[in-house]
Amino acid sequence: MLLVRPPGVYRAQEDTSLLRHVLRRRGRLSGRSVLDVGSGTGALGIEAFRAGATSLTAIDLSLRSVMASWLNSRIHGISATVRRGDLFAPVAARRFDLVLANPPYVPGVGPLPSRHRAARCWDAGPDGRALLNRICSGVSSVLNEDGALLLVQSTLADEQATLDRLAEAGLVTEVLARAHIPFGPVLRTRVPELRARGLLGPDQTEEELVVIEACHG
């Protein structure tokens, strides 16, 4: 997929590819409305549109990502609505059939996620859950009655915590896909600290990605 990616915008990687694969396999998008939250380059929303979605809204806090999502949607012939804002705030009064999320989830080395460096694309606080917790708590407010969330994360950020929080929000969950990938450049630099904190095993050289679906029961 052709994507323009300005400096500082998250590059579509294995997590994006895994969620795109689930979208293609899952189907059932004909005539559906889609929200791509934390859109980055807009790759996930574009994939959803290719799978039959009829409306696409993309949101990102980063101005560069907003510009990238808008430009890439136009390159692919999609009249997406692109908004800059914090998670669901720009669409608080709307409801969608499908919400896509590939948020930052890498456990960071500091107490708070970075806000002004490229690291904000992946850093998510000490436990990797700074954005995941907020998505789990807020997504039901933007889902139609028969809508669903598709979210991808690393198990380093506690898969079970995501399942539990979504259940607490009244959603029914299912893990749709798993994939093991070698550590990337960011994780490789953090191996000693993450092992010391018990987030990595002594011989672990791969992380596991999961795609979680959540919908109203």
Q: Describe the crossing of helices 43-50 and 14-26 by its angle, rounded to 10 degrees.
A: 20
d(CA 37, CA 19): 13
Fold of 14-204: Rossmann fold (3.40.50)
pLDDT for residue 118: 57
Kindly list the domain boundaries of the chain, sorted by start residue: 14-204
End-to-end CA distance of the chain: 35
Give Cα 126 to chain centroid, integer Å: 18
| Nearest alpha-carbon partner for 57 in 72, 73, 38, 35 | 35
pTM recorded for the entire structure: 0.92
Per-residue pLDDT tens digits for 150-189: 999 999 999 999 999 999 999 999 999 999 999 887 777 8
Place of tokens 């989830």: 105
Residue 75 Rama label (left phi>0; alpha psi -120 to 50; beta): alpha
Give Cα 32 to chain centroid, integer Å: 19
Is the pLDDT at 123 greater than 90, yes or no?
no
Across 131-141, average pLDDT:
96
Question: Token pair of 129, please?
Answer: 């859950």
